[in-house]
Amino acid sequence: MKVEGMTCQGCVAAVTKAVQRLDPAAQVSVDLPAGRVAIVTDAQALEVAQALGRAGYEAEAMTG
């Protein structure tokens, strides 16, 4: 996912926590400089984007 608004390690922790609240078994890998988050989860992309939105970040699913 492309995630807007991440600026520091605190953001990385907040994004990870938001995804893992939705799916505790989710694997989250954040590339802070690129503003991208790779997520392995059973949750739908829209659910993840909404969870990140509630955490204060703008998220957009990416393909490829």
CA distance 14 to 56: 9
pLDDT tens digits along 2-59:
999 999 999 999 999 999 999 999 999 999 999 999 999 999 999 999 999 999 999 9
Instruction: Give the CA-trace dihedral at 48, 54, 57, 63, to 10 degrees.
Output: 20
Rounded Cα distance between 23 and 33, Å, is 25
Q: What per-residue confidence (pLDDT) applies to 34?
A: 96
Cα–Cα dist 2/49, whole Å: 10
pTM as predicted: 0.91
Residue 64: pLDDT over 60 = no
Specify the pLDDT at position 43.
94
Q: Give residue 62's pLDDT.
A: 81
Rounded CA-CA distance 64/52 in Å is 21
